[in-house]
Amino acid sequence: MDVTRKGMIGLVLMIVGTLAFLPGVTPGAGMGVLVLPAAILLTAGTYLLGTDGDGRPV
């Protein structure tokens, strides 16, 4: 699978979103404000990586 620049950006956004999501859902961490930005990063990254390449988007 050839990953273009768009796909790499999507992959990085997914990793950053996942790392930001974890403290937001940990009980007692008080970082609930991170959940929305993390969800947006995960969504954007999934979209970019999923639509990378030729053919039908995954």
- Copy the structure tokens of residue 38: 């993390």
> What is the rounded CA–CA span in Å between residue 24 and residue 50?
25
| pLDDT tens sequence for the chain (58 residues) | 577 899 999 999 999 999 988 887 777 777 778 888 999 999 999 999 888 877 776 6
Is the pTM higher than 0.75? The answer reads yes
